């Protein structure tokens, strides 16, 4: 029953993250449209280019929302592990869009450091305050998110809030002193900061896709603990992987004495299952072998 309980726990969490991403998506889309209007009204290139960046955000938030929803579906004939990886796919697409967006901003901001352009400081000030309030609300909504998808979305929104804080600071200064170079310099610094976090997330996403052993686990250590279970002679051919960063799976071959009783086998399997599940691995597959059995060529590693 423990397994079943786990499953339901994940289900509730999934609905929460889906709702969070939906709210962030709607807020972002609404604000993007406002920004386009505001950019044209203040004739501010900075705000218009941020609107372009926000439009990219809205698209990737929409993808995330859709995929997070899709990821809630249970296993079926086509996807026997369920659809949880679709949420990871959302995180990957999002990271790629963020990378692209950051590079576009760098390409745009660097020439402005060399040739600063005049800015409408009052319009910038007004929009910066709006931007901080609206994006800040979305960040607070997503801050408790645990899925990788939510974390990537959170970085999107954090990037926006930081961008607006910078535009706010710059516009306050620009209302008093005319140093337009301030805007692109701050923009470059923030973009580099965001890029660093995107790359860290991307590395984690790719390691899950490539079925790397999750970082809290060590196969030699787990094999040692399993081999210490009474009546187990040895353990080999152990694999641990993660579905989407939260659900972990383990498969292993367990060698027992030839003349072992059926009841004892059942009890050993139960002990191993409990030991592995206590570590947070929710799905265990064991192959029981006997000491003099030839392990079909699979056991050399």
Determine the pLDDT at residue 160: 79
Answer yes or no: pTM beyond 0.85. no
Three-class SS of 148-217: HHHHHHHHHHHHHHHHHHHHHHHHHHHHHCCCCCHHHHHHHHHHHHHHHHHHHHHHHHHHHHCCCCCCCC
pLDDT tens across 164-213, in order?
A: 887 788 788 888 887 878 777 777 777 788 788 889 989 999 999 999 99
- Is residue 68 over pLDDT 90? no
Mean pLDDT of all residues in 284-288: 93
CA–CA distances in Å: residue 240 to residues 6, 268, 274: 18, 20, 16
The string of pLDDT tens digits covering residues 10-64 is 444 456 677 777 877 888 888 888 888 877 776 666 676 677 677 777 877 788 7
Element (H, E) at 299: none
Q: Please choose, from the candidates 1, 20, 17, the residue with its C-alpha nearest in 3D space to the C-alpha of residue 246.
A: 17
pLDDT at 298 over 70: no
Model confidence at 297: pLDDT above 60: no
Q: Which domains does the chain have, with CATH numbers?
A: 2-209 (1.20.1510.10), 219-290 (3.30.70.1350)
> What count of residues does the chain have?
301
Virtual torsion, Cα 247, 253, 259, 261, nearest 10 deg: 10
């Amino acid at each position: 029953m423990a397994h079943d309980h786990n499953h339901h726990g994940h289900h509730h969490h999934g609905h929460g993250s889906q709702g969070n991403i939906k709210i962030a998506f709607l807020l972002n889309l609404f604000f993007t449209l406002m920004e386009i209007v505001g950019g044209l009204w203040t004739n501010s290139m900075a705000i218009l280019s941020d609107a372009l960046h926000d439009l990219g955000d809205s698209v990737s938030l929409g993808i995330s929302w859709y995929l997070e929803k899709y990821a809630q579906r249970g296993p079926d004939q086509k996807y026997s592990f369920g659809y949880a990886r679709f949420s990871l796919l959302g995180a990957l697409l999002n990271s790629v869009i963020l990378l692209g967006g950051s590079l576009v901003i760098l390409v745009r901001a660097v020439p402005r450091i060399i040739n600063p352009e005049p800015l409408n400081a009052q319009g910038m000030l007004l929009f910066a305050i709006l931007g901080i309030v609206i994006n800040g609300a979305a960040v607070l909504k997503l801050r408790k998110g645990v899925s990788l998808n939510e974390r990537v979305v959170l970085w999107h929104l954090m990037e926006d809030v930081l961008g607006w804080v910078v535009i706010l600071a710059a516009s306050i200064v620009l209302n008093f002193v005319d140093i337009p170079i301030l805007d692109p310099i701050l923009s470059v610094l923030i973009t580099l900061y965001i890029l660093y976090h995107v790359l860290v997330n991307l590395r984690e996403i790719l390691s899950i896709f490539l079925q790397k052993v999750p970082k809290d686990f060590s196969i030699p250590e787990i094999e040692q603990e399993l081999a210490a279970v009474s009546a187990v002679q040895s353990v080999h051919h152990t694999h641990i992987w993660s579905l989407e960063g939260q659900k972990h799976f383990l498969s292993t071959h367990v060698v027992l004495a030839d003349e072992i009783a059926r009841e004892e086998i059942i009890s050993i399997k139960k002990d191993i299952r409990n030991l592995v599940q206590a570590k947070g691995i929710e799905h265990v597959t064991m192959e029981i072998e006997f000491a003099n059995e030839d392990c079909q060529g699979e056991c050399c590693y």
